[in-house]
Structure 1
Amino acid sequence: MADELTLPPGIGPHEGRELELMLAGTKPMAMFSDALHVSDYFPDADFAPHVEAGRIIRVEEIIPRPPFEMRYLFFSLPDEEWRIEEALVMSRNLCAGTVIDHDADSARMGELLGYSSGEVQAFLDHFRS
């Protein structure tokens, strides 16, 4: 999407550096999501050796969201699994349509993913304008 190209560095979906940042210990969690039938970009193969070695935790959940199912794939550092648990609750609420404050949830998800409060605020401001 064109809007994502104008975001400050370090803000936006994926950027292809999650694994690198996680292995360096500077990103506690990565999340990938899409309608199950839409995307084939889920980096299972890239993360697999690190999951097998115990350096990274992997959790996947498929959540019904008519007319499609949503696939959520999370990776975290071993001592950061609590982030996945909280992000899964938020993802389930989103799919169920029970989110009360999208900005608050977006901000919290950004924090869970390891973004600074300034980066989260820039992201929210960008999409509000």
Structure 2
Amino acid sequence: MMLAGLKPLAMFCDVVGECHHFPEDEFIPHVASGTLVMREEIYAAVPGERPVRCIYYARPGEEWRIEAAHAIKSAVYSLSRPWAESDDIELGRLLGYSEWEIQAFLDRVRSFRTSA
């Protein structure tokens, strides 16, 4: 969707050692050709937890989205502050989702939290 110009940012995050499938191989040729830019971050774990690896991809000119997403993840993973619903909203916008798609995601998360 990024190559078609439909999404400005892609983000893949998982616990280090449990990355089930990051589609890095699919992105490598596009990063090499300059069609996409990439950034990888490892967020240090809090005591008793494993670190989290995130890979960000953006179209050239959209690198600010990587910076903004990294700022959110960094603040939360460093325990500077807790995760908030506003983080989901901002990340959804950075990833290029519409307001109704973000709202549908929030509704699903809320229903999951209340049923757990």
TM > 0.5: yes
- Aligned partner of 1:79 in structure 2 is 61
- Aligned partner of 1:38 in structure 2 is 18
Question: Kindly, what percent of the aligned residue pairs are identical?
Answer: 40
Return 5+ residue gaps in structure 1 as ranges: 1-20
How far 1:101 sits from its partner (Å)?
Answer: 5.8
* Runs of 4 or more consecutive aligned structure 1 residues displaced over 3 Å after TM superposition: none
- For 1:105 and 1:84, the matched residues in 2 are separated by 14
Structure 2 CA distance for partners of 1:40 and 1:105, relative to 1, 3 Å:
same
- Aligned partner of 1:117 in structure 2 is 99
1:52-91 alignment, distance < 5 Å: 52-66=32-46, 67-91=49-73
How far 1:98 sits from its partner (Å)?
Answer: 2.9
- Aligned partner of 1:93 in structure 2 is 75
Deviations 1:44-88 (A, max 9, x none): 111000000000000001110132111010000101100000000
**Alignment TM-score, normalising by the size of structure 2:** 0.88
Output the amino acid matched with 1:119: E
How far 1:40 sits from its partner (Å)?
Answer: 4.0
Return 5+ residue gaps in structure 2 as ranges: 112-116
How far 1:97 sits from its partner (Å)?
Answer: 2.3
- Aligned partner of 1:127 in structure 2 is 109
Output the amino acid matched with 2:76: L
Give the root-mean-square deviation of aligned CA atoms: 1.2
- Aligned partner of 1:11 in structure 2 is none
Whether the aligned pair in 1 keeps the contact of 2:76 and 2:82 (CA below 8 Å) is: no
- Aligned partner of 2:87 in structure 1 is 105
- Give the paired residue count: 109
